[in-house]
Amino acid sequence: MRVLIVVHQLPPRHLAGTEIYSLRLAHALKDLGHTVALACSDDSGSTSTGRISMGVLESVPVYWIGVDRVASSCRESVFPPNTRGSLARVASQFAPDIIHIQHLRWLGLHALEGISGIRLVGTLHDHWALCARDGQLLTRDGVPCEGPDPSRCAACLVGYQFGLSPLEARVRRVLGRVGISHSGAIGRGLRRLGLWRRGTLQAQRGPESIDLESRDAAFLDYSRRVDRWIAPSEHVAASHRAFGFDATKIVVVPHGVDGDAGANHVPREGGPLRVAYLGTVAPQKGVHVLIEAARRLPPDLIRLAVHGRMDLRPEYASSLVAGGLPRDVTLHGTFAPGDAASILRHADVVVVPSIWPENHPLAVAEALAARVPVVASNLGGIPELIVDGCNGRLVPPNDPGALADVLHELAKDTAHLLRLKAGIISPMSFKDHAKRVVLAYDMGEEP
């Protein structure tokens, strides 16, 4: 079987859950004997906007589709300029039997125009179809949203930037060509000088309800084009069924993850409780909640290590340290996916303090595979992975006091921590996950 995996971005642009998953799936499918290629947006300037170039990433062929990420309106964020039919052009070169869509952000829904006779499969990694604010179902104030409603969403999106301005896109390309990060000191300096301007009249007033109704209709049309939807959690499956996706097309297949079942774990020998956070340092991930919880604990009770990329939202990362970090908290910055196992070997507990309804967090699955108990927010798909008091603890989201209380309890009660560890059942292996994905390709995995 020839499989084209479509993802919105790939390293070195940004490495997050969807991108890690896409690369792992490509390798797993190759190991199962299938022929695999990736298709991805490229805004580095290496590929001209609207053009396609070829490359190789971790031994997997990649079709890079040039984009500029310019979007001054809600409609342009769904149908960006210059990408219409781009995946049909890739398909004419690769001739896939399956196009497996992980995400179409930056490529747009009309990238599929012109495709016929090829089975389309999509994985629901987030709520992009339901929420124009990064698919996070969070309000402007960072509160979980009840779901899409055109009038309510229009008010929520006032001031929201759907994409880059033409000037910002040009600046990013120039910086990229000379090897300078747009999110680094020079990029921040250009923004302060007003040379990098994102504001538009549309963003200041927000989209009209009619724009959002059109957006909803476009995603429902898109949902009907896809032959099978794979949902990593029942939570995300239910939200899309409620939105209008055909329930008979949706199958729940939890993500797989490989771990060493706690091999070589360094046991705690007295001292502080070793707490680890693994993930992007961004507002929706709730890192500020975790740090505030640590601030409320007695000195030397825990030792918190925060591992994750900090330059995706540099202003947020800077705000975490602006007031001074507790002495028991260390920000380690970016880590390679292969380093997760080493981090987990030296952790007594992993905390996932998300304030948005996560789908199937990779950090939770990796921790359980390493037999490390998890303390996590009780929302989204997380309760499908964590049973409170069995393999971890669930806490209310955005509640540093409740999180501090649980960490205090675990630091003081070693027996409780050991009971949680004993209650862990390893998640599905990635190889078994890939086999279930292939069943979904063949329509053999029934909803």
| Claim to verify: residue 14 and residue 67 sit in the same structural domain | yes
Q: Percent of the chain beyond pLDDT 70?
A: 89
Residue 161 lies in a domain: no
pLDDT in tens, 394-413: 999 999 999 999 999 999 99
The whole-model pTM stands at 0.90
- Are residues 224 and 300 located together in one domain of the fold? no
Neighbours of 340 (CB within 10 A): 22
* Phi, then psi, of 251 in degrees rounded to 5: -125, 135
**Per-position DSSP letters for 235-255, written without gaps between them:** HHHHHHHHHT--GGGEEE-PP
Instruction: Report the pLDDT averaged over residues 35-56.
Output: 91
Mean pLDDT across 41-60? 90
CATH number reported for the structural domain that contains residue 85 in this entry = 3.40.50.2000
Is the Cβ–Cβ distance between 385 and 360 less than 8 Å? yes
Evaluate whether 302 touches 275 at the Cβ level (below 8 Å).
yes
Select from 247, 227, 257, 233 the least CA-distant residue to 434. 257
One domain for residues 56 and 107: yes
Most confident of 9-18, 43-52, 227-236: 227-236
Higher pLDDT, 358 or 198: 358
* Distance (Å, whole) CA 9 – CA 199: 24
Does residue 129 lie within any of the structural domains?
yes
* Kind and range of the H or E run holding 393: strand 392-395
Residue 149 falls within a domain, yes or no?
Answer: no
pLDDT score at 445 = 57
User: Residue 350 domain-assigned?
Assistant: yes
Same domain, 408 and 314: yes
- 88-92, 148-152, 267-271: least confident range: 267-271
Asked if 370 and 301 sit in the same domain, the reply is yes
Average of per-residue pLDDT values in the chain: 89
Which structure tokens are listed for 279? 């993930």
Query: Which long-range contacts link 158-161 to residues 24+ away (Cβ below 8 Å)?
Result: 158/203, 158/204, 158/205, 158/206, 159/203, 159/204, 159/206, 160/132, 160/133, 160/203, 160/206, 161/198, 161/199, 161/203
Average pLDDT over residues 375-380: 97
- Say whether both 386 and 281 belong to one domain: yes
Tens-place pLDDT, residues 382-392 = 999 999 999 99
237: region left, alpha or beta (phi > 0 left; psi from -120 to 50 alpha): alpha
Shared-domain flag, residues 252 and 292: no
Residues 317 and 250 in one domain: no
- The percent of residues in the chain predicted with pLDDT above 90, rounded, is 66
What 3-state class would DSSP assign to 101? strand
Structure token pair of residue 370: 């390493």
- Residue 243 maps to a domain: yes
For residues 225-241, give the mean pLDDT.
97
DSSP label at 304? E
Which of these, 14, 447, 51, 4, lies nearest to 231 by C-alpha position?
A: 447
pLDDT the model gives residue 269: 80
Q: Verify that 247 and 101 share a domain, yes or no.
A: yes
Domain presence at residue 188: no
Count the Cβ atoms, other than its own, within 10 Å of residue 383: 16
Asked if 119 and 239 sit in the same domain, the reply is: yes
Distance separating alpha carbons of residues 185 and 181, to the nearest angstrom: 8
Structural domain including 351 reads: 273-422
Is residue 268 within 8 Å of 301, Cβ to Cβ? no
Two tokens at 78? 């769904």
pLDDT at 201: 46
Q: Is 175 part of any domain?
A: no
Q: Are residues 21 and 113 in the same domain?
A: yes
Q: How confident is the model at residue 418 (pLDDT cuts 50, 70, 90)?
A: very high
Per-residue DSSP letter, 417: H
Express each pLDDT in 61-87 by its tens digit: 999 999 988 888 899 999 998 899 999
DSSP state of 284: G
Distance, in Å, from the CA atom of 361 to the CA atom of 125, rounded to the nearest integer, reads 10
15 and 57 assigned to the same domain: yes
Question: What's the token pair of residue 18?
Answer: 């969807």
**If we measure between CA atoms, which residue out of 380, 315, 398 comes closest to residue 143?**
398
For residue 65, give Cα distances in angstroms to 5, 7, 174, 283, 321.
13, 11, 18, 29, 38
In a domain, 311, yes or no: yes
Is the link from the previous residue into 12 a cis peptide, with omega within 30 of 0? yes
Number of domains in the chain: 2
- pLDDT at 426 exceeding the cut of 80: yes
- Closest to 201 (Cα-Cα) out of 159, 146, 229: 159
pLDDT digits (tens, 9 = 90+) for 119-171: 999 999 999 999 999 899 998 888 888 888 888 899 899 888 888 877 777 77
- Tell which residue, 219, 258, 188, has the closest CA to residue 430: 258
Asked if 235 and 257 count as a contact pair (C-beta separation under 8 A), the reply is no
